[in-house]
Structure 1
Amino acid sequence: MKGMGMMPQQRKKPMSEINVVPYIDVMLVLLVIFMVTAPMLTQGVKVDLPETTSDPIQSDKDVESIVVSVDTNGAYYMEIGDESSDPMSLGEVSEQVAKILSQRPNGEVLVRGDEHVEYGTVVRLMAELQGAGATSIGLITEPSPDEK
């Protein structure tokens, strides 16, 4: 007797399905790459930030930050999310920030001041932002070359 107690050999059919798992893996990797690089592609005002050693600011990802920039000439610009404004006066910045903070009181305000702008210009801006209702104002800097 041939193969007593053994199972009869079955012939396997060729598999006609496409294995899509590797394609899904590649798609998810690309999704993560685009999610990480998308915030870096934002446009803004060219400002030479002072370089210093500082810890990163911990922020809520749910709330968009209000970024007020001061360029070398002392002109003010406001950025909310991906939207950037034209040059504004200090009073206009104060009004806009007050309107935004009245709608979302826990909004975060960050100041991006050019390295060559006068200290008094940044201080006046911060005083106006506090007067507009900003309870927490952060300063944006670049990491020093030693940390890069």
Structure 2
Amino acid sequence: MARQRHKKRPMAEINVVPYIDVMLVMLVIFMITAPLLTQGVHVSLPSADAQPLSQDSEEPLQVTVDAGGNFYLNVGDDPDQPIDAGTLVQRSAAVLRNKPNTPVLVRGDSGVAYGTVVRAMVLLQQAGAPNVGLVTEPPEAASP
């Protein structure tokens, strides 16, 4: 009996089609869930006809004043926890020292006292903010 010669097979190639399918499914999942992950404190912003910020500016430092007069800052360990005035000044000053051109915005609930929003603006100026902007919602279109 003649010995059969074994042909050397080329190395098996990896079929990447299943990996591409998995990647596309994951991409769709992330695209759907990313907008749902926005965190923040719910405030009812006042309406005003104002120009939006340009998209090329860096992420702003936002102070939120809720209906109860509590301050929140979008920087720190837990932006959903209220902070006191001293913490607001310290954290804001630290951000502005590292990035002096950071836009500074105040989101004040439409039901909060005007003096509380002004107090937040004064605290931001104490932290070194040269300009402080107010966040508003565009007015509702008049229905015919």
Aligned match of 1:104: 99
Give the drift of 1:64. Answer: 2.0
Contact 2:41–2:80 (8 Å) recurs in 1: no
Give the drift of 1:71. Answer: 0.4
Does residue 86 of structure 1 match 2:81?
yes
In the alignment of these two chains, the number of paired residues is 120
Residues 63-96 of structure 1: per-residue CA shift (max 9 Å, x gap) = 2211100001100001149x62410111210111
Aligned match of 2:42: 46
State the 4+ residue runs in structure 1 displaced beyond 6 angstroms. Answer: none
Q: CA RMSD in A?
A: 3.0
Give the drift of 1:131. Answer: 1.4
The TM-score, its normalising length taken from structure 1, stands at 0.68
Give the drift of 1:129. Answer: 0.4
3-state SS in 1 of match to 2:82: coil
Question: Greater strand percent: which structure?
Answer: 1
Task: Give, in whole Å, the separation in 2 of the partners of 1:84 and 1:119.
Answer: 23
Give the drift of 1:136. Answer: 2.2
Distance 1:110 1:146, change over 3 A: same
Does residue 55 of structure 1 match 2:66?
no
2:141 aligns with one of 121, 128, 146 = 146
1:131 aligns with one of 91, 105, 126 = 126
Residues 107-134 of structure 1: per-residue CA shift (max 9 Å, x gap) = 1111000001000111111011011111
The residue type paired with residue 50 of structure 1 is P
2:62 aligns with one of 55, 61, 67 = 67
Task: Give, in whole Å, the separation in 1 of the partners of 2:36 and 2:108.
Answer: 19
Aligned match of 2:7: none
Contact 1:65–1:80 (8 Å) recurs in 2: no
The TM-score, its normalising length taken from structure 2, stands at 0.69
3-state SS in 1 of match to 2:67: coil
Give the drift of 1:143. Answer: 1.0
3-state SS in 2 of match to 1:52: coil
Contact 2:40–2:80 (8 Å) recurs in 1: no
> Which consecutive residues of structure 1, in runs of 5 or more, have no partner in the other structure?
1-22
